């Protein structure tokens, strides 16, 4: 009888702790929007630093005004460049809110690529699927992709979905290239393949999912930096252990943050949203990043 009571008490404590953790993850940490800061040594000697705002994985649904207000407020940082790495919409009726959220940031030049949740709405998934790297993709209802593209392009940002472009930002000649979502096999690097032009002071690649094959392609062509999202930083992490899954081919230690890849730097944003079917974050707050590009050390 004493053992049974002890087991019952332990079970009760476990259930209570689990309920508290779920409440914390879904009601508190999920909306603790955080700005990360990184220094990225990629500029030529003597170049003045530039500030690059990286935003990813908004997963916006109607009514998410707190997230919208926080993202819009980032315009006060006065970035020199904005990079948007996909998964902006999680509901067909969220386009207007995404548009109003990003509009204040259009005063800065920007570039973007799409993720799967710019094409199809999320669907319910068994969370255990994420431990299977070969799990089958499920497609939700179509999203207003072309309307979103028009909003971003009309705002002055460059569409880098399987495309490249050149621009002058803060006096630097920047070569850009990007691929459409590799997670859904929409990428076609061959359309942007080739060595970075010698005239470029800085080269930037964009991809939604940081798949190693895509990072290898950018590194092989001599890019200085790549921005990515998709991983949500693991979304539900274990303190002291970190992410359990990445939902892509990247290793768990590089599921978020700034990392080297051969002679290139890449930054993975843990993103700002979640699927509406898994609205939790634990030990992995939602984030955007302000990247200060500085001269590289030779």
In CATH terms, the fold of domain 34-295 is Purple Acid Phosphatase; chain A, domain 2 (3.60.21)
Give the separation between CA 178 and CA 113, rounded to whole angstroms. Answer: 7
- pLDDT bin (cut points 50, 70, 90) of residue 291 is very high
Give the separation between CA 71 and CA 273, rounded to whole angstroms. Answer: 11
pLDDT at 289: 98
Q: 278 in helix, strand or coil?
A: coil
Q: Is the pLDDT of residue 229 over 80?
A: yes
**pLDDT tens digits for range 12-64:** 444 454 556 666 777 789 999 999 999 999 999 999 999 999 999 999 999 99
What average pLDDT is seen over the chain?
A: 91
Matching residue, tokens 């061959």: 190
Structure tokens at 99: 């548009």
* Mean pLDDT value of segment 177-193: 97
pLDDT at 9: 45
Is residue 121 within 8 Å of residue 88, measured between CB atoms? no
Is residue 286 within 8 Å of residue 272, measured between CB atoms? yes
Q: Is the pLDDT of residue 10 over 50?
A: no
Give the separation between CA 46 and CA 48, rounded to whole angstroms. Answer: 6
Segments making up each domain of the chain, as ranges? 1-31, 34-295
């Amino acid at each position: 009888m004493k053992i049974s009571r002890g087991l019952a008490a332990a079970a009760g404590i476990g259930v209570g702790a689990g309920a508290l953790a779920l409440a914390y993850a879904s009601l508190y940490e999920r909306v603790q929007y955080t700005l990360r800061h990184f220094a990225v040594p990629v500029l030529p000697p003597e170049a003045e630093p530039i500030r690059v705002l990286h935003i990813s994985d908004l997963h916006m649904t109607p009514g998410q005004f707190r997230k919208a207000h926080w993202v819009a407020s980032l315009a006060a940082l006065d970035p020199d460049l904005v990079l948007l790495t996909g998964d902006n919409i999680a509901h067909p009726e969220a386009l207007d809110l995404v548009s109003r959220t990003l509009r204040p940031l259009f005063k800065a030049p920007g570039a973007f690529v799409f993720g799967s949740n710019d094409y199809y709405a999320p669907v319910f998934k068994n969370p255990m699927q994420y431990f299977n790297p070969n799990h089958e993709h499920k497609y939700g209802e179509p999203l207003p992709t072309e309307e979103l593209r028009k909003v971003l392009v009309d705002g002055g940002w460059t569409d880098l979905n399987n495309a490249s472009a050149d621009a002058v930002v803060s006096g630097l000649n920047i070569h850009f290239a990007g691929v459409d979502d590799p997670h859904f096999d929409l990428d076609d690097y061959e359309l942007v393949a080739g060595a970075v032009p010698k005239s470029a002071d800085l080269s930037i690649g964009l991809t939604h999912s940081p798949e190693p094959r895509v990072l290898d392609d950018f590194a092989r062509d001599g890019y200085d930096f790549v921005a990515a999202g998709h991983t949500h930083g693991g979304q539900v992490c274990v303190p002291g252990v970190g992410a359990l899954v990445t939902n892509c081919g990247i290793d768990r230690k590089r599921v978020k943050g700034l990392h080297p890849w051969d002679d290139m730097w890449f930054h993975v944003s843990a993103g700002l949203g979640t699927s509406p079917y898994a609205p939790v974050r634990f030990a992995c707050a939602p984030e955007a990043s302000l990247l200060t590009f500085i001269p590289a050390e030779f």
